[in-house]
Homo-oligomer: A and B are copies of this chain.
Amino acid sequence: MGLKKKPAGAETGLARRRFLNTAAAAGLAGVGMAACSDKPASAPAATAQASAPHAQPNPGEGAGSIHLKPGELDSYYGLWSGGHTGDMRVLGLPSGREITRIPVFVPDALVGWGITNESKDIMGRKADGSLKYTVADTHHTHASYKDGDYDGRYAWINDKINARIARVRLDTFTCDKITELPNAQGFHGIFPDKRDPVDEAVNYTTRVFCGSEFHIPLTAADIDKPEKYRAIFSCVDAESMQLRWQVLIDGNCDLVATSYDGKLAATNQYNTENGVKYEDMMSAERDACLFFNVARIEAAVKAGKFKTIGDSKVPVVDGTRDANADPKTALTAYVSVPKNPHGVNASPDGKYFICAGKLSPTGTVIELAKVLDWFDGKLEKIDQAIVAEVELGLGPLHTAFDGRGNAYTTLFLDSQVVKWNVDAAIKFHNGDKNAKYVVDRVDVQYQPGHLNATHSETKSADGKYLAVGCKFSKDRFLPVGPLHPENEQFIDISGEKMVLLADHPVRGEPHDFIIFRRDIIKPKQIYNLDDHPQAVKSAADGGLTRKGKKVTVRMVSQAPAFSMREFKVKSGDEVTLFLTNLDKVEDLTHGFAIPNHNVNFIVNPQETKSVTFTAGKPGVYWCYCTHFCHALHLEMRTRMIVEA
């Protein structure tokens, strides 16, 4: 990269940014190859004053050993997006162990997600009853709030491929609702609100905001008119999971952030050029952090000032730049930030949103009070809400916080995390060239994307652990063929210096995650029989009934047996089978597989599920328990006898 180490703040301008201003493909290819070098030892040099990385585990005060003894529990939960694996993952911290994966958008053979009728109904079916989608790409997961901290009710996660939002219940760790966003493509950023902008009593999450990345024609007539393509910003009701409203906008949405007072949501945007080729998408010097005035939008919707698009009945207001030039009526405000920014994050003191520069080496600090001032006509230009724009290093992507006034930003190209003080950065930006805003840097292995710290996205940010999702693991783990794992690294941030604690391989490709104290949630261990309206409450309640070619089988499991030792159907029958697990002991799950019929699912204690299938060719099919349950688990079977 040819960059020399320089003291932070030694450059008054943003000179180094010019490095990424040459939009020619050749130059970019060079950047790309550097980013993806197979010579990990020669990571780009640190760009500023902070000392060299600290490889020796030497945890500071507050963060204990990450190496738990057998049986010791973790202190924090982590919820991780699974990327194009399509799931959500639950990690324990500080150990870094993956405790479970939650099937969300794509089928899962273990639990029968996408196999059972109940899961198919959540996932969405085609007219013929089969699954509408079997692939997904999850990027971001965030949880519900109350009083500015997590309340342990829900988490939400996006599917970028098919523009779907899913909700996960944090009592059962299961997905209970999925909504496909109309008029949207490439749904990427997602964030719940933290309180209502108007109603003081509603100091908890009732909305989830969704930014779509791809700009598309709104009618088939505009397919060949890229200048008419637009992206969309959606508001989904946190409880009903129905769309409340959408905003038509300029630019492509990346991430989403929300303010603690409920008044503002924002999305950082690249491609405000509305280009359709990547060279065009990065031609402008600055893009935007786009703010939404939630109360004004909802007032406009209430007043009928909206349109609808195509078949969708969702009210759509106009949030484009030209339509919102007057601050007194504006629904949106486009704050300019350096080119192709990546990530927007709310500081836990409620004051700032920070955008990372990606193609600019800067972080941009936007003061929310000033954004509100602009909407109120008290600030002349919206860009006056920018209170700092400082150099951090090459390829800044995302920012986390420790609750002590420090921000931690990933530097994709430098393969570092930089710790910087927000107040000092504002002072530096205001002309105090002695303000040393960069506190520390640590090398990570290798190119980091998202990072997050314990409770970083809440008012309770506690500054203990930082996790960093590194996008190339290269030589950090035993080689497993051409497809490498990603590398989640854990860093102790309890002291002045960051201390790298551990590497953990993760199957591709997690993006974002949140980390919260274990006391936040109290998961259920056993279902209630009445959770399912068709629960089979005893063996006597079960049996086989037939209506023409439609057969219903109702059965219970209780270790080590299914209540029916055999059942007879005819080849070609449409069979619906309900299975209730009557076992009440925690962790006593049973499975139910039918050979050659694509049926397998599990029932947890007191849970009921159902499957519908067509009985195959005549023969005996031993349905068996797939989930180890008992010394006689192998013997736990029932015979499905299919007659001609």
Q: Report the separation of the CA atoms of residues A24 and B598 in the bound assembly, to the nearest whole angstrom.
A: 33
Q: Which residues of B contact A485 (CB under 8 A)?
A: 99-100
Please tell me if A401 contacts chain B, counting CB pairs below 8 Å.
no
| Residues of B with C-beta under 8 A to A595 | 161-163, 185-186, 214
A sample of 16 inter-chain contacts (CB < 8 A) reads: A31-B631, A32-B631, A35-B630, A36-B588, A68-B503, A106-B107, A133-B596, A137-B600, A214-B637, A270-B634, A270-B635, A278-B635, A395-B631, A479-B525, A480-B523, A483-B589
Q: Which 9 interchain pairs have the tightest Cβ spacing?
A: A173-B481, A482-B604, A278-B635, A135-B600, A32-B559, A32-B630, A214-B622, A471-B628, A100-B480
Contact A527:B482 (CB < 8 A) given known A186-B622, A631-B31? yes
Complex Cα–Cα for A593 and B133 (A)? 12
Q: Residue A476 at the B interface, CB < 8 A?
A: yes
Stretch at the interface among A71-79, A321-329, A370-378, A426-434: A71-79
Say whether A632 faces chain B, with CB atoms less than 8 Å apart: yes
A358 to B598, CA, bound (A): 30
Q: Which of A29, A340, A635 has the most CB of B within 10 A?
A: A635
How many whole Å from A78's CB to the nearest CB in chain B? Answer: 10
Closest to A216 in B: B620
CB distance from A430 to the nearest CB of B (A): 30
Contact B619 A220, beta carbon cutoff 8 Å: yes
Contacts of A224 in B (CB 8 A): 641
Q: Quick check: B217 and A619 within 8 Å, CB to CB?
A: yes
Smallest CB–CB gap between A333 and chain B, Å? 23
* A223 touches which of B480, B619, B622 (Cβ 8 Å): B619
Q: A31-B631, A161-B593, A631-B358 are in contact. Are A220 and B559 (CB under 8 A)?
A: no
**Interface residues of A, dominant DSSP:** loop
Q: Is A502's CB within 8 Å of the partner chain B?
A: yes
B585 touches A504 (CB 8 A): no
Identify which of B74, B476, B560, B631 contacts A413 (C-beta below 8 A). B631
| A618 on interface, CB distance cutoff 8 Å | yes
**Is A408's CB within 8 Å of the partner chain B?**
no
Do residues A90 and B508 form an inter-chain contact, with CB atoms below 8 A? Answer: no
Instruction: Tell whether, in the assembled complex, residue B70 and residue A489 are in contact, meaning their CB atoms are under 8 Å apart.
Output: yes
Contacts of A504 in B (CB 8 A): 97
Q: How many residues of A contact B (CB 8 A)?
A: 158
| Supplied contacts A97-B505, A107-B107, 16 more A-B pairs, CB within 8 Å | A28-B632, A73-B478, A74-B477, A74-B478, A86-B110, A101-B507, A110-B509, A114-B134, A160-B626, A161-B595, A172-B481, A172-B482, A278-B637, A359-B631, A413-B631, A481-B524
Q: Are A161 and B600 in contact (CB under 8 A)?
A: yes
B136 touches A109 (CB 8 A): yes
Contacts of A421 in B (CB 8 A): none
Instruction: Determine the distance from Cα of A217 to Cα of B25 in the docked complex, in whole angstroms.
Output: 66
CB distance A500 to B70 under 8 Å?
Answer: yes
| Chain B residues with CB below 8 A from A92, complex form | 477-478, 505
**A277 & B107 in contact (Cβ 8 Å cutoff):** no
A363: which B residues are within 8 A, CB to CB? none
**Given A607-B482, A627-B84, also A634-B254 (CB < 8 A):** yes
State whether the Cβ of A213 lies closer than 8 Å to any Cβ in chain B.
Answer: yes
